[in-house]
Structure 1
Amino acid sequence: MAFTSRAWRVAPFIFAVVTLEQAASFSIGINLFTFAFNTEHFSLATAANIVTNFMGTMFLLTLLGGLVADLWWSRFKTIVVSGVLEILGILLVALAASIKSLTPPECQLLDASCKSATSSQKAVFFGGLYLLALGAGGVKANIATMGAVHFDENSPVEKKELGTYFNTYFIHFCIGALIAITALVYTQENVSFEVGYLIALGCMVLGVIVAAAGYPLYRHNSPRDGTQSPVTSFAQVVVAAFRNRKLSVLSPEVLHQGPLDDSKTGYRIEHTDQFTFLDRAAVVDYNSPPTAQTSPWKLCTVTQVEEVKLILRILPIFASTIVLNCVIAQVQTVTLQQGRTMDRRITKSFEIPPASVAALPVVFMIIALPIYDRIFVPIARRVTGHENGITYLQRISVGLLLAIVSMVVAAFVEKKRIRVAREFGLLDSPTARVPLKIYWIMIQYFIIGLADMFTFVGLMEFFYREAPERVRSMSTALTFVSLSLGYFLSSTIVDIVKRVTTKGGGLGWLPSNINRGNISNFYLLLASVSAVNFVVYVACARWYRYRDHSDADSALDRDVELEDAPSKATDIGSVSKRPLMA
């Protein structure tokens, strides 16, 4: 396949920014537990929640970044401004790590005399973290879409290449994470957090420069191009459907279609037979005064109604991936603490930093993704006839199954670790090394890496292709919002488990000394929740109806090329009635 289109000339800028931004933000997030626990002297549970809350907020703010790009600014402006905010956030975190007055005094870990950070120290630390989160959210929400819009979905060749683009995007996302987990975390652990954070700052500065350098090649969306705000349009459909709730829909033919070039959306979508209660929004109420009949809060077009239906269809799929991301969150919290207590020596002179153990699933994904894209997809395509080999939702289902397996394996590995610790009398020595090689923990990392590979890219392309064209940045951001809610769910589960299992004065499953805890039960709990979630997901996937992109040759291209004339709006097609996983 010769990648000669304009899309692939833009792609190197996109991939470079993704790599640099991910290296910067992830290097702080992945080792944040260590900094919060060792340097800021927060408790084990609090430090774990700081990580999940930070990562969760960063990914949740991608929705805001997508909203800004789709409704007010262009994607390019949102990326650049957000990048500057991220630079300022990293700078504050670096100052918190380098100025002694901004960190608590050093002390022996788990010693009762250890003092936690003061209010002013916390203000600088958390202020930097969440400014970083705000900026990272804006960059992550828009950078993938910035490149994807250059692929012509009217072309069968470029339509297939879009899948390769998303796979390649994720490879560079993983490369950035690998740089963070290895080089930058190693620097934090063996040189200083200050130096590690300053390198992250340099990565982000370079990322903003690269993003700006690609400006002449980009296609720039224009949110204020004369079409109605999608949020206002969605609200009008809900209000109109409620106001017309007593009207009957005799047949789809009587619904208000609007012009072919819908002035409110810029394109037209045909009627579908799901969520029919919303169809009342497109019924003309001839008993109302003429001015009320044409009010946008009383009468909407079928296209407006169908856009809302598209959003409602993808929400159950979105919701059923949150538990998977709760499982992935354990890589940066509980599993990280396990790795810290194990024998991490590779040679006599080299030892893996605890946070760098998380590089293992990333390495597996970097290796597996090209194999998946260049070998599995072509073979599967010949068997199934599907342009991506398997459908998006089938790909996601594989990831959900692997997440269950990973937690079961993690439980067995933890039981083995505790057994070895007991044999060597180390149960009451939380800082001692259990003579069990770190290789054991690689098994669960390998499986969770494969789960992430299948799910993340499948979700991102699914949201990009299935959501309304006017909200593609927001819809793509849902991939990260699912990650966000997974992190928050993880924090909630940790809090509940700690509260329930410590009733009666016991240490519970997740004490600061994990050798006296019961992490294996915690993993089995997550496996059980994941199994229930998978059943729910399958039901949602069987109910889901894909959009029919057979009429994509008439889709409106709302992104204005700098050197090209704006395209005309036409019909973008309808929705297929074929269940996905039937």
Structure 2
Amino acid sequence: MADLVTGKYAFSRLRGDEPSDEEGRDDVEGTSSREEVEITNDGTVDFRGRPAIRAKTGGWKTSWFIYCFCGVPANQVFANMGFYGCSANLVRYLTSVMHQSNATASTNVSNWNGVGYITPLIGAFLADAYWGRYWASFVFTFIFVIGMIFLTVSASLPSLRPQQCATQDLLCPQPSSAQAAFLFFSLYIVDLGAGAFQCVVTPLGADQFDDEDPEEKAQKTSFFNWYYQSMNMGGLLAGTFLIYIQDNVSWGLGFGASLIAVVIGTMCFLGGTPFYRHNLPGGNPITRITQVIVASVRKWYIKIPISSELYEVPEEMESIIQGSRKIRHTNEFRFLDKAAVEMDGDKSDDSSANPWRLCTITQVEEVKVLVRMIPITITSAMFSTIYNQMSTVFVLQGATMDLRMGYFNIPPASLTVVELLSVSVWVPIYDFFLIRLASKFTNNPRGFTELQRIGIGLLISVFSMVAAALLEIQRLEVARLHELLDDPTVPVPLSVFWQIPQYFFVGAAEVFTYVGIYEFFYGESPDAMRGLGTAFALLTVALGSFLSSVLLTIVTHFTSKDGAPGWIADNLNRGHLDYFFWLLAGMSTVNLVFYVVCARWYTTKQTWGPSKPATLSSGTQ
């Protein structure tokens, strides 16, 4: 681990220095001294901290351990199978086993989902600053396993659940404080492990493709598509098998199967250890950000010169930030440029800059990139509010409908399979057809820019809420015609499969929005902050989940006054879910307008720097 973190050997070779006798050995075992071995151009290293050899590390052959499915090694398939096996049906567990009300359970699930997308900030910080992405993934995947063990125990032992009753009403015993505490402790350990792991394994997978190689850079777009597809396949397996076990066999067995899936996913991830490419951690990003702010404030009174007079290390030198290329100057947020204005006293006697007084253009631009990302983060979050309804009110809506399919009843949460199938259909359509079709009109070889892709997804998500609202109007009408308004125990004679359109639209929007978000935040993040960039991507999900929770709380509070049942009533036949869906559709439309404004304002990051060595001679020892 120390070799990976310091990268001493790797960077001594990249500078052209000779390694010491203790360090020196052939970089490529089995090659002659006359051969030259091609290494990556982006400064990545192998597991031992040596320059990464293109033929033996990275590329599709290595990312296979993270995303592949048919070829078996598939960390994301099994890890997400385990996580979705826990999350997709959680609202049903809280209502049927822990005896919480619909509104309380939905709020708790929304809060839990939100925290799960904030914990990535912890993983991102440790990965970018100290551990590197591999070791951060290594630690947090084991925390994920521990959380799933606790959750399985909570669902399996009768002493950790309230006494069950034949009917779900106010007479059912509530969980004790200890029972509730153990359950939520388990759930939030899962949040910490799964969220932080997801945040760092995503950029680790993308790091397997060399940004400085045109062919591999083009492959990276496809990687994000198929990486998301593997996550989707995990959810599909959970929605078809694990949820059925939970609803029809045993919650303990269902969560136990989720645990096994996570363990298998961990083994798949570890299998790729000798072949991964690694970007070295660039040091504490918070310190670098603070240095820019402090240096700017120190010089608040000075006039900003032209960009060519701002401080940067000489052109022939690499960036002073380890593992990062230089970033070109931009004209936004000019106040921060004052940190790169050189004045007397900014350098010590040995001509090295004091970073608390003088920062490079690259360091200043790192902060600008993060600031520019904030409006995109906020306006992209609305899709996650829509997405969050699938595991809450969509499930509650489906539970009131006719669940028969042939000779057995399907769990209402299993309709998420439609959304997952939609993703499975749209990913290859996008990767094989839409990119080629769109490129003819946009002159962009990737079809759409990441920001355009996100915007299209936000538009599609509006249609999912419209479909859900129209279905709820019809469901309430059928309940009225069959005199079921006051009998919620009898399913409304309207097939649950009428929910398919709303799930399908969410799935289509997901392929555009979430994949675009992952690609945008990874690609636009500074090289040494890509873990933090992925955390920003997941933060959009957190913001959306918390917004969903706040909306549920506000709507329940204001619509259930004076004894009214409220929009999201325990008896949904007396509620008005359609009003809630219309509210979300309207908010999504307004948000789309703000997003377009922010996307048009955004300035894309441009990197530059001295060329890395294209080859490494095995005879230079």
- When normalised by structure 2's length, the TM-score is 0.86
The amino acid across from 1:307 in the alignment is E
The sequence identity of aligned pairs, in percent, is 37
**Given the alignment, which residue of 413, 432, 441 partners 1:374?**
432
Relative to structure 2, which stretch is displaced further, 461-470 or 74-83? Answer: 74-83
**Given the alignment, which residue of 62, 84, 103 partners 1:10?**
62
- Distance (whole Å) between structure 1 residues aligned to residue 360 and residue 556 of structure 2: 52
1:310 corresponds in structure 2 to 369
- 1:287, CA displacement in angstroms? 8.1
The amino acid across from 2:356 in the alignment is W
The amino acid across from 1:8 in the alignment is W
**Given the alignment, which residue of 555, 567, 572 partners 1:509?**
567
SS in 2 for 1:435: strand
Change (3 A) 1:23 1:288: closer
Change (3 A) 1:552 1:327: farther
**Given the alignment, which residue of 298, 302, 306 partners 1:247?**
302
- Distance (whole Å) between structure 1 residues aligned to residue 346 and residue 227 of structure 2: 52
Which runs of structure 2 are paired with 1:131-530 in the superposition (5 Å)?
A: 131-223=189-281, 227-259=282-314, 260-265=317-322, 266-286=324-344, 294-347=353-406, 349-530=407-588
Change (3 A) 1:552 1:392: farther
What CA deviation, in whole Å up to 9, does each residue of 1:237-271 have, x standing for no partner? 01111111111113112211223323245532221
- Distance (whole Å) between structure 2 residues aligned to residue 219 and residue 481 of structure 1: 26
What CA deviation, in whole Å up to 9, does each residue of 1:331-366 have, x standing for no partner? 11111101111112221x133211101111110110
What CA deviation, in whole Å up to 9, does each residue of 1:350-399 have, x standing for no partner? 33211101111110110111011011112222332212101111111111
Contact 1:87 1:201 in 2 (8 A): yes
- Distance (whole Å) between structure 2 residues aligned to residue 69 and residue 251 of structure 1: 36
- Distance (whole Å) between structure 1 residues aligned to residue 105 and residue 337 of structure 2: 49
- Distance (whole Å) between structure 1 residues aligned to residue 78 and residue 110 of structure 2: 22
The amino acid across from 1:209 in the alignment is M
- 1:556, CA displacement in angstroms? 10
- Distance (whole Å) between structure 1 residues aligned to residue 246 and residue 258 of structure 2: 11
- Distance (whole Å) between structure 2 residues aligned to residue 192 and residue 556 of structure 1: 58
- Distance (whole Å) between structure 2 residues aligned to residue 536 and residue 161 of structure 1: 32
Q: Which blocks of at least 5 consecutive residues in structure 2 are unaligned?
A: 1-54, 68-73
The amino acid across from 2:462 in the alignment is I
Alignment RMSD: 2.3
**Given the alignment, which residue of 111, 132, 136 partners 1:74?**
132
The amino acid across from 2:519 in the alignment is E
- 1:555, CA displacement in angstroms? 7.5
Change (3 A) 1:304 1:328: same
Which runs of structure 2 are paired with 1:48-59 in the superposition (5 Å)?
A: 48-59=106-117
SS in 1 for 2:118: helix
Change (3 A) 1:469 1:294: closer
SS in 1 for 2:561: coil
What CA deviation, in whole Å up to 9, does each residue of 1:390-445 have, x standing for no partner? 11111111111111121122111100000000100111112211100112111111
The amino acid across from 1:248 in the alignment is K
- 1:110, CA displacement in angstroms? 4.0
- Distance (whole Å) between structure 2 residues aligned to residue 264 and residue 366 of structure 1: 40
Contact 1:284 1:299 in 2 (8 A): yes
Change (3 A) 1:497 1:554: farther
Change (3 A) 1:269 1:564: farther
Change (3 A) 1:24 1:250: same
What CA deviation, in whole Å up to 9, does each residue of 1:555-580 have, x standing for no partner? 899xxx9x999xxxxxxxxxxxxxxx
- 1:37, CA displacement in angstroms? 0.4
- Distance (whole Å) between structure 2 residues aligned to residue 555 and residue 165 of structure 1: 24
- Distance (whole Å) between structure 1 residues aligned to residue 565 and residue 500 of structure 2: 28
1:35 corresponds in structure 2 to 93
- When normalised by structure 1's length, the TM-score is 0.91
- 1:505, CA displacement in angstroms? 2.4
Relative to structure 2, which stretch is displaced further, 540-549 or 309-318? Answer: 540-549
- 1:159, CA displacement in angstroms? 1.6
**Given the alignment, which residue of 545, 565, 568 partners 2:603?**
545
- 1:552, CA displacement in angstroms? 8.0
- Distance (whole Å) between structure 2 residues aligned to residue 361 and residue 530 of structure 1: 19
Relative to structure 2, which stretch is displaced further, 104-113 or 276-285? Answer: 104-113
What CA deviation, in whole Å up to 9, does each residue of 1:485-522 have, x standing for no partner? 11111011100011111222211111111111111111
The amino acid across from 2:491 in the alignment is R
Contact 1:153 1:552 in 2 (8 A): no
Relative to structure 2, which stretch is displaced further, 253-262 or 323-332? Answer: 253-262
Contact 2:321 2:528 in 1 (8 A): no
- Distance (whole Å) between structure 1 residues aligned to residue 299 and residue 339 of structure 2: 6
